[in-house]
Structure 1
Amino acid sequence: MDALIIAAGYGSRLADLSPSKPLTPVAGVPLIEIGVRQAMEAGVTRVVVVTGHKADMVEAFLADLSQRAGIEIVPVRLSDWSTPNGHSVMAGATRCEGNYLLMMADHMFEADILARLLLEDRPERGVTLAIDRRTDNPLVDPDDATWVKMDDEGRITAIGKTIAPYDAVDCGAFLATPELAVAIREAIAEGKPGSLSDGMQRLADAGRAGTMDIEDAWWMDVDDPRAHALAEELAPWHLARTFAAIGQD
């Protein structure tokens, strides 16, 4: 299966630490490399990365990483990386075959989250989102999080940064089908900006957006200096297998 990693944005809150958000190091390893390695651990055999800001720099790094890690990495450059993240999904999905693991470049996961997510393919779903019911998780920034409301069967009914009430937080990992890019495109045609959440809400309205509870597994969104400092401390312990693999290259 392919993985699609969104790595096009500017990442202004991390700009003092690195000129490129995907290349921001955590314990000496760029975020984008951590993401690629975690996708590989989960069973992904090819990675598509959507680039934008500092694309030349990121793509040069990906070419080297592909050789070191022994996996095909396909860069897809977004001409206007200031657009909402759904545009990155649409661009990258054109290079994915069938269903794909969708990840954000600034998110880190214990590998079993992604491995479990790959097993969530169900005909009644157009997308499955990894969710954390620990809405008071101290590693989550409540001002930046995307929140999720679900029905009794775990189907998403509402998703967004400003919804209330909510049941869980979006972890930034999805098992996507080709329906997701279509839903984003249809949302844009209806006048929406084209965020990933716009497409997710459209699938939710059709009863096609499912969830997978990560339970007590560890994950982080490394989006600002506070989160980066926590990641420096916690990631090597929670992602020991990933960092060990990197050290063997």
Structure 2
Amino acid sequence: MKCLIVAAGQGVRLREKGELKPLILLKDVPLIEHVIERACIAGLDGFVVVSGYRGEELRSELDRFSAGRDIRIAHVINDAWKRANGVSVLAAKRQLTAPFVLTMCDHLIDPDIYRDLLAAKIEPDTVTLAVDYNIGSSLNDPDDVTRVKCSDGRIQQIGKSLSDFNAIDTGAFLCTPMIFEALEESQAHGDDSISGAMNVLARWGKARVLDVRGKVWLDVDDPAGFGKAERLLDLGRI
């Protein structure tokens, strides 16, 4: 199964560590290579990376990595990279006509989370989000996480400003091409985010959740998250 990685934004919150977030060295390895390595361990065997900000630099580095490791990486260019992340996902529509995994270039995910997604039943025209019910986890910034209200294995609502929520979005999804219809619907109404599309899918009854059950994941979005990532890698926890 293919894996789509969103890597188009500026990453301004991590700018002190480097100019281009996907290529910031984490334990001497570019961040996006950590992401790809974990997906490969889980059995994903082809990658589509959406680039935008300083995209030529990123694509050149990924081509070098791809050739050296014999990992298939296709590129999609998002010239509208200043818009929210759903625009990047929609830009890859022509590349992805079968179920695929979606993740972010700055999310370190335990390969077992990907394995659980791959093992999940793919219901027709649905999208499944891996969620963490441990909302008090110290690993991720509680003021920056995307919050999810779930019930009976389904998403009711998702967004950063929810006051009533019981789970956190890990940034790992098992998608069918229905995600693209939801993105088009959401963007037509002014919401360019992936969360906007998930809210559309929730209204359609097509947004599912999968519990990560304590497995480790981390959004490496700022210097604090970067420090946590270094410690987790030192401990072999991710």
Tell me the TM-score normalised to structure 1 length: 0.92
1:79-158 matches, within 5 Å, as 79-123=79-123, 126-151=126-151, 153-158=152-157
Q: Partner amino acid for 1:25?
A: L
Deviation at 1:192, TM superposition (A): 2.1
Structure 1 counterpart SS, 2:38: helix
Look up the match of 2:70. 70
Q: Partner amino acid for 2:36?
A: V
Look up the match of 1:207. 205
Aligned 8 A contact 1:126 1:177 in 2 = yes
Look up the match of 2:179. 180
Identity of aligned residues (%): 38
Aligned 8 A contact 1:192 1:198 in 2 = no
Give the paired residue count. Answer: 237
Q: Partner amino acid for 2:183?
A: I
Deviation at 1:186, TM superposition (A): 1.0
Structure 1 counterpart SS, 2:75: strand
Q: Partner amino acid for 2:127?
A: V
Aligned 8 A contact 2:35 2:107 in 1 = yes
Deviation at 1:43, TM superposition (A): 1.2
Question: 2 CA distance for matches of 1:204 and 1:25?
Answer: 37
Deviation at 1:132, TM superposition (A): 0.4
Aligned 8 A contact 1:127 1:179 in 2 = yes
Query: How has the CA–CA distance of structure 1 residues 96 and 68 changed in structure 2, closer, same or farther, with 3 Å as cutoff?
Result: same
Question: 2 CA distance for matches of 1:42 and 1:170?
Answer: 20
Question: 2 CA distance for matches of 1:95 and 1:125?
Answer: 17
Aligned 8 A contact 2:159 2:195 in 1 = yes
Question: 2 CA distance for matches of 1:65 and 1:146?
Answer: 31
Aligned 8 A contact 1:20 1:54 in 2 = yes
Structure 2 counterpart SS, 1:238: coil
Deviation at 1:39, TM superposition (A): 1.3
Look up the match of 2:162. 163
For structure 1, list consecutive stretches of 5 or more residues without a partner in the other structure.
Answer: 240-249
Q: How much is the aligned-residue C-alpha RMSD, in angstroms?
A: 1.1
Residue number among 214, 222, 225 corresponding to 2:223 in the alignment: 225
Deviating beyond 6 angstroms after TM superposition, the runs of 4 or more aligned structure 1 residues are: none
Aligned 8 A contact 2:147 2:169 in 1 = yes
Aligned 8 A contact 1:125 1:210 in 2 = no
Aligned 8 A contact 2:80 2:87 in 1 = no
Question: 1 CA distance for matches of 2:181 and 2:31?
Answer: 28
